[in-house]
Amino acid sequence: MTKSLVITFVGDDRPGIVESISKIIVQYDGEWIESRLANLSGKFAGILRVNIPEAKCEDFTAALKSSAKGLNINIEQVVKEQSSEGHTQCYKLELLGQDQPGIIHRISSVLANNGATVEDLESEVIEASMSGEKLFKASITLCLAEGYSADTLSEVLEDLANELIVDIELG
Amino acid sequence: MSNTLNKLSIDQLQQDDDFKSRHIGPDAIEQNAMLDLLGLSSLDALIDKIVPESIRRQDVMSIQPGLTEQQSLAMLKKMASKNRVLKSCIGMGYYNTFTPPTIQRNILENPAWYTAYTPYQAEISQGRMEAMLNFQTMVADLSGLELANASMLDEATACAEAMTLCQRMSKSRGKVFFVAEDCHPQNIAVVKTRAATLDIELVIGDPLKGFDELDIFGVLLQYPATTGEVKDYRAVCDQAHEKKALVAVAADLLSLTLLTPPGDFGADVAVGNTQRFGVPLGYGGPHAAYMATRDAYKRSMPGRLIGLSIDSHGNPAYRLALQTREQHIRREKATSNICTAQALLAVMASMYAVYHGPRGLTRIAQRVQRLTAILAAGLQQSGFTLVTENYFDTITFETNEKTDEFMQLAVENGFNLRKLNDNLLSVALDETITAEDVETLWTVLAGEGCVLKVSDVDETVNPELPEEFNRQSDFLTNQVFNSHHSETDMMRYMRHLADKDLALDRAMIPLGSCTMKLNAVSELMPVSWAEFGGLHPYVPLNQAEGYQQLTQELEQMLCSATGYDAVSLQPNSGAQGEYAGLLAIRAYHDSRGEGFRNICLIPASAHGTNPASAHMAGMKVVVVATDEGGNISLEDLTAKLEKYGENLAAIMITYPSTHGVFEASVVEVCELVHQHGGQVYIDGANMNAMVGVCSPGKFGGDVSHLNLHKTFAIPHGGGGPGVGPIGVGEHLKPFLPGYAVVDNGPEQVGPVAGAPWGSAGILPISWAYIAMMGREGLIKATQLAILNANYLAQRLKDFYPILYTDPNGMVAHECILDLRPIKDQTGITVDDIAKRLIDYGFHAPTMSFPVPGTLMVEPTESESKVEIDRFCDAMIAIKKEIDDVDSGTLDKDDNPLKSAPHTVVSVSGNKWGHSYSRELAGYPVESLKVSKYWPPVGRVDNVYGDKNLVCSCPAISEYEEE
Ligand SMILES: Cc1ncc(COP(=O)(O)O)c(C=O)c1O
């Protein structure tokens, strides 16, 4: 049996972050399923899903946390395994807000806590027209595990921060 | 120097055409020097090189030779004198008012206020943002809601915006918007127009009768109603809320000093006009309308919102809040297309409240209400039947078969009344109405025999409204509304705010796409004349003959300048023009049985208002790619036409492009779109690069809006007023916006604004600009706009790459400096450079539009070579600083760019924690020692501001905590 974990992390950007994480995953016979990583205003952040043999989960978690110098890491178990029969509902989520360090981490935690698995995440930080503010823009395809509602998710996300604007479309 | 002037004849000594040389910055010597640098022999050679042959104007622009300032003023005076200014007691949201003279002189007629730009650069806009925060506080307090914006275009569009806010925020999935039948007719008319393209079903009826089975998401009420009746809407709000619908109330701000405000009786949104707070009627505009709502709906609020944040030193500082709502960022998903609003008028209205304070306003309201009660009592004593039971300033009474006779008699005695229908008249009073006026109205209505005296009747009336209507909550308790009541204090307060800001009266404002050209005083003076200022928008046309002449002549001038066949002056901003233009296109397709056409192609580089307007017009936006040269990709266009051709409604292009280039392919683009049955919308924001040289109406455009507040000299006012007329080809003429209330307008499309001629009150500015420049002068202005931009690009290109040019390496009237390589190399951002420019005394160019990570610079024709050089020198000096950061001479993080702008307090304080000198911080170039603008705050923190949103004046207690 393998367990599916969602790992989110954020920290100052430096060479070798991805390399060090992937090394540990390999070390514990894990499988790097999917991920989106980005450099935001000097911070490097990522969300990834890995499958780890159940027996090695604890050790893996400990190893990852201790090896991650300067990284703020969060590891969550996928609340409900995404079933291949497609019992889940998929959505397109557009997020827009002022950029701030750690924003992707906060978002990804909310997603993970609300039964959302990220299928695809594209994000960028751009300078806003006219005002020049730094904007964080993300386009996420996510699937909700059974029992979770998109309305609730969007409310929780909107609550996340005043400055975040969230659009959810059924995909 | 020998005097050659004494050899000239008397005719030659007459300086006939000297306005254009006042308007245009560079003189002949400077022009030649600039042409030399570009290796060109003449202005004509410049235009030949830059403007594609295929679009050059073939005909001569039919505009007269230029007038002198005196001639123009005399002609306008003559025109103005054809307007007959009566006391208009028509109401409907428009009232006579006394503009406090100190506000007229120190705000309306003060370039420090009227030439400022929208406060995107927070650090140099603290003064006007404080005034606008006062406006927001005033509106929020009076309406009893939590926060208000600054500002909306007019009350009617604010009603339409309230409708869409209700739709976004209501948890009801209903499609019906219920509009009370006793709303002002222009509000209903504009809401109808808006609803039609958004799939919203309007039901117009009596809200007091309940909503039955209607599946409503929102309700619009008028308070007091258009008849003057004040009604208790508590139950209506409850019923709407039971259906999960939201309630919007169009409310008269002055009445709210006495009446229970909408927020207190359960409304979710309040909108209205603030004109009667000291802003002249101006035959319909410009005035600031307002919108207020609950905190929970703030992110759905349209328009600009000033918020409080902190600066880099931790001190309070204002900024534009929640910008992620706006169309620059959200494009077609924006809450609204509103961009230019009514900033200057909002500032005036807020100053009126500062001037009078809560007590003064209440007193004005009380007097108006008392006089109304007296008028009513007198009429009742004379046998009239009053229809209004509870009222504030407006009463309606039965006149039956004598209705028209009374209307006529009133006019003969100097008053305009309102005919509600064949049997009913209404009278609306305001602060200018005197006791004698009321007595005159009695004799008009009750006959010469009526000998009632106001003072006598006063003793008999009971001015009390029933308890439930009386306002219980406090308002305007902030210090600012309670301390500047002497003229001395008032004058100093306005001066104190103006001194914090950077406007055109201090330095050039090189904002690309914004065209911050001269707003000449002789163009503006007529705006203050009573003959233009005193007209209500719904007076009979025979009282507005001066305005009719003005609008017709201006329409003609604009047709000549653009090559279109007809013009509507109604839209109050460029974005509203876009919307009106797209409605015309939509209605045109519909009239040909092709109403299914709903795709609007828009290049990725378009201004954010374009997709937002397309969305409002019920169209679906499809983005067309640009090629690596910044031009519309013909390949992608062909592909998109292939795919969407059958449903194609329009393409919206900007010309010259937002990339600042005359695209040679524009004719081909227009032809391709026409071949597929689409219409071509040419965004005319850049018309100042085309006047007299090429005409959008001739090279392929079917419709364009113009920004009179760019090309045709109306000042920006710190974010409005604007005028966004549309020009259309003959085939679209029937589809121009209709008129609310006034007869004989176009009939196929509804009105987009409450007043048929929009912001008529400022149209004399554009008329005067065109009349004084004359045909030659206008062409010269175009040439110089292009020359100045190319000169500037030439001077800067070795320091900052010019992102897009035409194949000859030339730009149009503006250019984009690409700063992305600098950021990659040194970490210095657009923001750093923009803020550092403040230390050099300049307003930054347009940031990150249309390309993130760039600055777009537009000098305009009004700036001299000396001023452009000063700007270029500053940019070059800044580049040197960037190089020093790169080379390590300046620290990577602690350098004058990252810490910019520097306040006088930080530079002169005892503590100086930086690794560079104070002199470099404050006086980077020698000339600044003679004259220096100091920003009042350090760099403003954007993230903090939105996280800790404060959109009204902090209470006194909060200051005390500091
Ligand atoms: C290219 C372009 N289109 C449209 C607009 C919108 O005009 P307004 O602000 O008057 O609504 C602007 C103004 O900034 C613009 O630059």
Q: Is the CB of B685 under 6 A from ligand 1?
A: yes
Which domain range does residue A151 map to? Answer: 87-170
Per DSSP, the three-state class of B623 is strand
Average pLDDT across chain B, whole number: 96
Do A148 and A95 fall into the same domain?
Answer: yes
The predicted-structure confidence for B5-14, as pLDDT tens digits, reads as follows: 888 888 877 7
- Which of B960, B935, B951, B953 shows the shortest CA–CA distance to B304? B951
Q: Please give the average per-residue pLDDT across B708-724, as a whole number.
A: 98
Residue A80's pLDDT is what?
59
Which pLDDT band holds residue A27 (cuts at 50, 70, 90)? confident
Do A139 and A165 fall into the same domain?
Answer: yes
Could you say which of A77, A106, A133 is where a domain stops? A77
Separation CA B98–CA B792 (nearest Å):
46
Q: Are B202 and B189 in contact (CB under 8 A)?
A: no
Asked if the structure places residue A92 within a domain, the reply is: yes
- Whether B752 contacts chain A with CB within 8 A: no
Residue A162's pLDDT is what?
66
Which pLDDT band holds residue B17 (cuts at 50, 70, 90)? low
For B799-822, the three-class secondary structure string (H helix, E strand, C coil) is CCCECCCCCCCCCCCCEEEECHHH
Which pLDDT band holds residue A84 (cuts at 50, 70, 90)? very low
Do A129 and A166 fall into the same domain?
Answer: yes
Q: Are B652 and B614 in contact (CB under 8 A)?
A: yes
Strand bridging mode B679-684 / B703-706: parallel
Per DSSP, the three-state class of B719 is coil
Residue in chain A nearest B947 by alpha carbon: A162
Task: Kindly report the CATH number assigned to the domain that includes residue A33.
Answer: 3.30.70.260
Q: Say if residue B559's pLDDT is above 70.
A: yes
Identify the residue whose tokens are 């235009």: B47
Do A30 and A55 fall into the same domain?
Answer: yes
Q: Please give the average per-residue pLDDT across B797-806, as a whole number.
A: 98
- Whether B850 contacts chain A with CB within 8 A: yes
Q: Say if residue B948's pLDDT is above 90.
A: no
CA of residue B601 to ligand 1 center, whole Å: 18
Chain B nearest C-alpha distance from A128 (Å): 6
- Whether B123 contacts chain A with CB within 8 A: no
The token pair at B557 is 């001038």
Q: Any idea of the CA torsion for B821, B827, B833, B836, to the nearest 10 degrees? A: -150
Asked if the structure places residue A65 within a domain, the reply is: yes
Chain A nearest C-alpha distance from B172 (Å): 14
Do A25 and A70 fall into the same domain?
Answer: yes
- How buried is B837 (Cβ within 10 angstroms: 0-12 exposed, 13-18 middle, 19+ buried)? buried
The predicted-structure confidence for B886-928, as pLDDT tens digits, reads as follows: 999 999 999 999 999 999 999 999 999 999 999 999 999 999 9
DSSP state of B528: G
Which pLDDT band holds residue A50 (cuts at 50, 70, 90)? confident
Residue A86's pLDDT is what?
52
Asked if the structure places residue A135 within a domain, the reply is: yes
Residue B962's pLDDT is what?
39
Instruction: Order the strands of the A134-144 sheet from edge to edge.
Output: A116-127, A134-144, A89-98, A165-170
Amino acid letter, residue A39: N
CB contact under 8 A, A163 and B324: yes
Do A127 and A155 fall into the same domain?
Answer: yes
Which pLDDT band holds residue A166 (cuts at 50, 70, 90)? confident
Instruction: Order the strands of the A43-53 sheet from edge to edge.
Output: A31-40, A43-53, A2-12, A71-77
- Which of B333, B311, B351, B326 shows the shortest CA–CA distance to B100? B351
CA of residue B571 to ligand 1 center, whole Å: 13
* Mutation to probe ligand 1, out of B609, B661, B759, B857 (largest number of atoms < 8 A from CB): B609
Nearest atom in ligand 1 to B577's CA: 11
Do A115 and A67 fall into the same domain?
Answer: no
For residue B224, cis peptide bond before it (omega within 30 degrees of 0): yes
Q: Is the CB of B783 under 6 A from ligand 1?
A: no
- Which of B471, B520, B617 shows the shortest CA–CA distance to B115? B520
Residue A137 CB contacts under 8 Å (≥ 6 apart), including other chains:
A94, A95, A96, A123, A124, A125, A126
Q: Are B729 and B703 in contact (CB under 8 A)?
A: yes
Separation CA B835–CA B232 (nearest Å):
52
The token pair at B554 is 């201006």
The token pair at B425 is 């008249």
Residue A85's pLDDT is what?
47
Q: Up-side HSE of residue B90: CA atoms within 13 Å toward CB?
A: 24
Asked if the structure places residue A27 within a domain, the reply is: yes
Q: Please give the average per-residue pLDDT across B813-838, as a whole number.
A: 96
The predicted-structure confidence for B134-144, as pLDDT tens digits, reads as follows: 999 999 999 99
Amino acid letter, residue B178: F
Q: Say if residue B315's pLDDT is above 70.
A: yes
Q: Please give the average per-residue pLDDT across B923-949, as a whole number.
A: 94
Q: How many domains does chain A have?
A: 2
Nearest atom in ligand 1 to B578's CA: 4
Do A21 and A69 fall into the same domain?
Answer: yes
Span of B246-260, B318-332, B436-450 with lowest mean pLDDT: B318-332
Q: Is the CB of B327 under 6 A from ligand 1?
A: no
Q: Rounded to the nearest 5°, which phi and psi values hold at B610?
A: -60, -60
Separation CA A158–CA B54 (nearest Å):
52
- Which residue owns the Cα nearest ligand 1 atom 7? B574
Residue A163's pLDDT is what?
65
For B677-688, the three-class secondary structure string (H helix, E strand, C coil) is CCEEEEEECCHH
CA distance readout (Å), B551 to B100, B574, B641, B760, B761: 28, 18, 39, 8, 10
Residue in chain B nearest A164 by alpha carbon: B324
Number of helices and strands (H, E) in chain A?
Answer: 4, 8
Q: Say if residue B210's pLDDT is above 90.
A: yes
Asked if the structure places residue A82 within a domain, the reply is: no
Residue in chain A nearest B830 by alpha carbon: A132
Q: Please give the average per-residue pLDDT across B466-492, as a whole number.
A: 96
CA distance readout (Å), B168 to A151, A167, B164, B175, B709: 14, 11, 6, 11, 31
- Which of B256, B260, B210 shows the shortest CA–CA distance to B235? B210
Do A121 and A70 fall into the same domain?
Answer: no
The predicted-structure confidence for B55-99, as pLDDT tens digits, reads as follows: 999 999 999 999 999 999 999 999 999 999 999 999 999 999 999
Nearest atom in ligand 1 to B654's CA: 1
Residue in chain B nearest A97 by alpha carbon: B324
- Which of B23, B79, B68, B61 shows the shortest CA–CA distance to B763? B79
Do A112 and A70 fall into the same domain?
Answer: no
Asked if the structure places residue A67 within a domain, the reply is: yes
Could you say which of A55, A77, A99 is where a domain stops? A77
Do A161 and A94 fall into the same domain?
Answer: yes
Q: Say if residue B295's pLDDT is above 50.
A: yes
Q: Is the CB of B157 under 6 A from ligand 1?
A: no
Residue A79's pLDDT is what?
65
For B329-366, the three-class secondary structure string (H helix, E strand, C coil) is HHHHHCCCCCCCCCHHHHHHHHHHHHHHHHHHHHHHHH
Asked if the structure places residue A131 within a domain, the reply is: yes
- How buried is B568 (Cβ within 10 angstroms: 0-12 exposed, 13-18 middle, 19+ buried)? buried
Q: What share of chain B in percent tops pLDDT 90?
A: 94
Q: Please give the average per-residue pLDDT across B778-787, as a whole number.
A: 98
Residue A171's pLDDT is what?
58
Chain B nearest C-alpha distance from A67 (Å): 29
Q: Is the CB of B342 under 6 A from ligand 1?
A: no
Per DSSP, the three-state class of B390 is coil
Q: Say if residue B1's pLDDT is above 70.
A: no
Identify the residue whose tokens are 């004719």: B667
Which pLDDT band holds residue B112 (cuts at 50, 70, 90)? very high
Do A62 and A11 fall into the same domain?
Answer: yes
* End-to-end CA separation in angstroms for chain B: 64
Which pLDDT band holds residue A81 (cuts at 50, 70, 90)? low
Per DSSP, the three-state class of B758 is coil
The predicted-structure confidence for B350-394, as pLDDT tens digits, reads as follows: 999 999 999 999 999 999 999 999 999 999 999 999 999 999 999
Q: Please give the average per-residue pLDDT across A68-82, as a whole number.
A: 76
Residue B767 CB contacts under 8 Å (≥ 6 apart), including other chains:
B76, B550, B553, B554, B557
pTM of the model: 0.92
Q: Say if residue B687's pLDDT is above 70.
A: yes
Which residues is B282 bridged to in the sheet?
none
Q: Say if residue B786's pLDDT is above 50.
A: yes
CB contact under 8 A, B608 and A129: yes
Could you say which of A77, A108, A138 is where a domain stops? A77
User: Where do the H-state alpha helices sit in chain A?
Assistant: 17-27, 57-67, 103-113, 150-160
Q: Say if residue B445's pLDDT is above 60.
A: yes
Instruction: Order the strands of the B846-847 sheet from edge to edge.
Output: B815-818, B854-857, B846-847
Q: Is the CB of B684 under 6 A from ligand 1?
A: no
- Which residue owns the Cα nearest ligand 1 atom 12? B685
Q: Are B116 and B716 in contact (CB under 8 A)?
A: yes
- How buried is B656 (Cβ within 10 angstroms: 0-12 exposed, 13-18 middle, 19+ buried)? buried
Q: Please give the average per-residue pLDDT across A138-143, as a whole number.
A: 86
Which pLDDT band holds residue A116 (cuts at 50, 70, 90)? confident
Span of A147-151, B497-501, B694-698, B862-866 with lowest mean pLDDT: A147-151
Helix axes B574-591, B609-616, angle to 10 degrees: 40
What stretch of H or E contains B792?
A: helix B763-796
Contacts of B320 in chain A (CB under 8 A): 131
Asked if the structure places residue A68 within a domain, the reply is: yes
For residue B151, cis peptide bond before it (omega within 30 degrees of 0): yes
